[in-house]
Amino acid sequence: MAAAISAARAGASVRLIEANGCLGGIWTAGLVPYIIHAKRESCLMDDIWRRMAEQHDSRLPFFNPEDVKFVLEQMCEEAGVSFQLHTRLAAAAMENGRLRYAVTESKSGRQAWGGKVFIDTTGDGDLGALAGNGYDSAHEGTGLFQPSSLNCLVAGLDSAEIADVVNDRWAMRKELEGAGVAPSYGLLGASLFYVGAGLYFLQATHQYGYRVFDNAREQTRATVKGRAENHRMVCALRGLGGKWRNIVMVATAEQIGNREGRRLHGLATVTRNDLMKGRKQPDPAVSGVTYLMNVHPVKLKGNPAEIRKMLAPVKPYDIPFRALVAKDVASLLMAGRCISGDFFAHGSYRVTGYAVPMGETAGVAAALAARTGHVPHELSWETISDRRREVREGHP
């Protein structure tokens, strides 16, 4: 969405393909209504949150996912982005090493979409993989993945009565244990956040060991397991009575929250060392990233020795534009959690406060490349950065 709106604002003709029935990915279908590090250099994020505040009285960093669905659709329409929901990428067609068509399947059948430049923002790196770009996934040494999480929204709670558990993951975990259900979120406790309109976001499950990014059977099993656990938790809490007497399940996520997909190979790779050293880059697509290296436990009982340091602070580092440029496929950019990085670095840059400015930069670069007949890696960083500033200033 960020890439599409920015590319359109930069003058490109843009088509956005989305598998779900709404825009927003993890914010909406994934029911993660919480933006980590939202207040970063990003004109688009500012635009989204100004509208969310004006139209829906939202307060950063939390929001009602239903509201953001509506705002994103409005913003895409206003920018002239032609988007098609319920449409899944199924194949890619190449010509002379260059990606030429993205092939999708939907109610309209099989369709091929020609383009001068493509941006993979599938999170899982589906387009890059289909086009034959190299990628890594999982922890290099052990082959283990971070768990997925299926989240839910609940309501029926009295804010004064539950003030002691909201935003306190250990207090919430204790409540659940008291109700007889130890959440699979394990070492991370259990999170209950207020997102507005009487709705609370519950994140208390981990689905360990499922390969959800390229295996529909495992994705289904993880989803069913997560949904059942959420229902069990809500039911058990209601059974406690007292402050939980009226708790109801409002919705479980359509899209299982997948932390680990493909990390597509790019012209540069963000590494753990970059995070630890606070490396600056000559082409900062995003500068000064400070979110910690947050590798969720790969097993219920924690991480093996190789992945032990799951929570480590970072020094402010940059995400280079080259990490958004596919290494093996000309005319392909990427943004969000599928950019080029190692297992540990991904644990930091993957959060949505950085996915949005990555998308903005990729969108501007794609528009420039399409207009000038170049492939993205031929553009100078100065040209991209100047154009991004113009686009940002045109849309304060």
38-41: long-range contacts, CB 8 A cutoff, minimum separation 24: 38/352, 38/353, 39/353, 40/286, 40/288, 40/353, 40/354, 40/357, 41/286, 41/287, 41/288, 41/357
What residue ranges bind ligand FAD (CB under 6 A)? Answer: 17-20, 25-26, 32, 34-36, 88-89, 121-124, 126, 149, 255, 257-259, 336-337, 350-353, 355
DSSP reduced 3-state for 3: helix
Q: Which is nearer to ligand FAD, 244 or 275 (CB)?
A: 275
- Reading the block at residue 343, the tokens are 């297992």
**CB 372, min distance to ligand FAD, A:** 27
Considering only CA atoms, which of 155, 246, 199, 159 is closest in space to residue 67? 199
Q: How far apart are the first and last CA of the chain?
A: 18
> Closest residue to ligand FAD, Cβ-based?
336
Q: Which is nearer to ligand FAD, 105 or 243 (CB)?
A: 105
**CB 344, min distance to ligand FAD, A:** 15
**CB 242, min distance to ligand FAD, A:** 28
Q: Which is nearer to ligand FAD, 73 or 371 (CB)?
A: 73
- Reading the block at residue 235, the tokens are 């039911």
**CB 361, min distance to ligand FAD, A:** 14
Q: Residues, the chain, total?
A: 396
**CB 18, min distance to ligand FAD, A:** 5
**CB 358, min distance to ligand FAD, A:** 8
Q: What backbone phi and psi angles, to 5 degrees, belong to 364?
A: -65, -45
- CA dist., res. 332 & res. 99, Å (int): 7
Q: Which is nearer to ligand FAD, 222 or 375 (CB)?
A: 222
Q: Which is nearer to ligand FAD, 24 or 320 (CB)?
A: 24
Q: Which is nearer to ligand FAD, 225 or 350 (CB)?
A: 350
